[in-house]
A and B are shown apart, each in its own frame.
Chain A
Amino acid sequence: MRRILLLMLVLLVAYGGLVFWLPETTVSPGDLVEGHASIAASCFQCHTAFRGTPSEKCLACHALAAIGLASTTGAPLARAERMPRFHQALLDPACDACHSDHVGTGRPGANARFTHERLRPDVLTECGDCHGDAAPADDLHRSAPKTCGSCHRVEGWTPATFDHAALGATPEQRCITCHAGVRPGDGLHRQAGDDCAGCHGTTAWKPATFEHAKYFRFDRHHPADPCQSCHPDSLDRYTCYGCHEHTPQGIAREHREEGITDFEDCARCHRSGDEDDAERSRPRSRGARSRDDD
């Protein structure tokens, strides 16, 4: 046992001596950053025994008010103009929360370790102070409001939660400005024009809310394709006089015989090619008579 203790003592003295003799080689987790190379051998200039690296020691050389503006010697920094001055807006200037001056420790750089939670709430909404005009030069960002926070979160630019309402009063009219590239090439969409909002909502393309059967049910005599048969000008207008079956004169004569005078909006009564539908649903004009009246 005594031998073991003696061996321990000898090794402790030998290795301990090595640590005191070559602290940089034996215990330093990596070379210091270039700016601190001159104090590499003075561990306790930054470290306090068993307490880590208190910010007071950093701030003794790097005055908080001057960070980003001037060097520790007071010389103005050339990059001061383009450097965001967020250090002064930190809730708690805990330097080692972001900075690790020993390179080679495998720790991420200061930028990666910075989180916006460290900033005072009043500066969190002023994204431009640090990020400048960082918005991409695309149509979406040109149309979007300048308050980044309405879409983006401080954790990262993506994922963003875009709300079409932020675009203005009538975003429906602008869909195609941004979404032209995603319009399907099928017959319906080719003929639908640019009024995406007529069928789609602003949160997702699906489900689309448009149901043609609510207005008129297709059948083999009234097929869906081509739309222009009934909608020659635009999808929000229709006509039933586009084929040989229905002519304005013939329709007028037939309806007047029934005592129906208001027959311009055909689909109001005729929800399909089946004439019985109209019998069940048509509103009658004052004084009109039905076939049963005969």
Chain B
Amino acid sequence: MALRLVATRAVFLVALWGALVAAAIALDATLHVLGLAWIGLWLGPIGTTLILASFAYSFRKRGWFERGSPRALLLVHEALAWSGTLLVLVHAGIHVHALLPWLAVVAMLIAVASGLTGEFLLTTARARLSARAQELRNAGLEEATLQKRLQTDALVVRGMETWRVVHLPIAVNFAVLAFLHIVTAVLFW
């Protein structure tokens, strides 16, 4: 049961990643066919704004504000980050020549992959813990014994939650590169 959940989740996340790349190529090709490739220039700022807006979840997690449930904000974070990344990919198109924007694009893709990986690890670990607890309850174990048995699994879940320790520097790396790209693009307008 747990294995099927893990597999389903993994397939979903890979599909989400593939859909991002496919959608970016399709949108970019459509703009070129319609002679509207210039729109790509302006998709960069729009995509960046969406990505910045997605950070609301991070600020909520750190208690910078109290409104909204973290769970709902996580979904919004994922949706905005995915959409923003899509628009920035179309913005990048195939015209990137300089190293800095290339690095920013690669850092962005790594950040998205890292986010999806963290989400996958956390969701599957929680699901496995929940399934294991149910299994032990069904076997008639007392709550105290059950908690003891689950301690290792719970540690795994907590370990997975620390993925953000990896994800955060990756996101910061992308943010710095994106910032420098924007500054230099405006500087040499």
State whether these chains interact.
yes
Does A247 have its Cβ within 8 Å of any Cβ on chain B? no
Alpha-carbon distance between A7 and B180 when the two chains are bound, in angstroms:
15
Alpha-carbon distance between A8 and B180 when the two chains are bound, in angstroms:
12
The secondary structure that dominates the B interface is: helix
Across-interface contacts of B98 in A (CB, < 8 A): 25-29
Alpha-carbon distance between A49 and B184 when the two chains are bound, in angstroms:
9
Interface stretch, picked from B2-10, B80-88, B89-97, is B89-97
Least CB distance from A37 to B in Å reads 16
Alpha-carbon distance between A54 and B112 when the two chains are bound, in angstroms:
39
* Nearest residue, chain A, Cβ from B189: A52
* Nearest residue, chain B, Cβ from A44: B188
Alpha-carbon distance between A29 and B184 when the two chains are bound, in angstroms:
11
Across-interface contacts of B179 in A (CB, < 8 A): 12
Q: How many residues of A contact B (CB 8 A)?
A: 27
Chain B interface extent, by class: 20 to 34
* Nearest residue, chain B, Cβ from A106: B95
**Contact mask for chain B residues 47-58; partner A; CB cutoff 8 A; 1 contact, 0 none:** 000000000000
**Contact mask for chain A residues 1-27; partner B; CB cutoff 8 A; 1 contact, 0 none:** 100100110011001101100100111
Q: Are A19 and B173 in contact (CB under 8 A)?
A: no
Q: Are B172 and A11 in contact (CB under 8 A)?
A: yes
Across-interface contacts of A26 in B (CB, < 8 A): 98-100, 184
Least CB distance from A96 to B in Å reads 10
Interface centre among B94, B175, B184 (most CB of A within 10 A): B184
With A43-B188, A49-B187 as contacts: A19 and B172 at CB distance below 8 Å: no
Alpha-carbon distance between A104 and B62 when the two chains are bound, in angstroms:
44
Least CB distance from A122 to B in Å reads 31
Q: Are B93 and A50 in contact (CB under 8 A)?
A: no
Does B159 have its Cβ within 8 Å of any Cβ on chain A? no
Alpha-carbon distance between A70 and B51 when the two chains are bound, in angstroms:
51
Across-interface contacts of B93 in A (CB, < 8 A): 106
Alpha-carbon distance between A12 and B184 when the two chains are bound, in angstroms:
13
Least CB distance from A100 to B in Å reads 12
Q: Are A12 and B187 in contact (CB under 8 A)?
A: no
Across-interface contacts of B177 in A (CB, < 8 A): 11, 15
Q: Are B95 and A25 in contact (CB under 8 A)?
A: no
Across-interface contacts of B95 in A (CB, < 8 A): 29, 105-106
Across-interface contacts of A29 in B (CB, < 8 A): 95, 97-98
A residues adjacent to B (C-beta < 8 A): 1, 4, 7-8, 11-12, 15-16, 18-19, 22, 25-30, 43, 47, 49-52, 102, 104-106
3 smallest A-B Cβ distances: which pairs?
Answer: A106-B95, A11-B176, A52-B189
* A to B CB contacts below 8 Å, 30 in the list: A4-B168, A7-B169, A7-B172, A8-B172, A8-B175, A11-B172, A11-B176, A15-B100, A15-B177, A18-B99, A19-B184, A25-B99, A26-B98, A26-B100, A26-B184, A27-B98, A27-B185, A27-B188, A29-B95, A43-B188, A47-B187, A47-B188, A49-B187, A50-B186, A50-B187, A50-B189, A52-B189, A106-B37, A106-B94, A106-B95
A sample of 9 more A-B contacts (CB under 8 A), given A50-B189, A106-B37, is: A7-B169, A8-B172, A15-B100, A18-B99, A29-B97, A47-B187, A49-B187, A50-B186, A52-B189
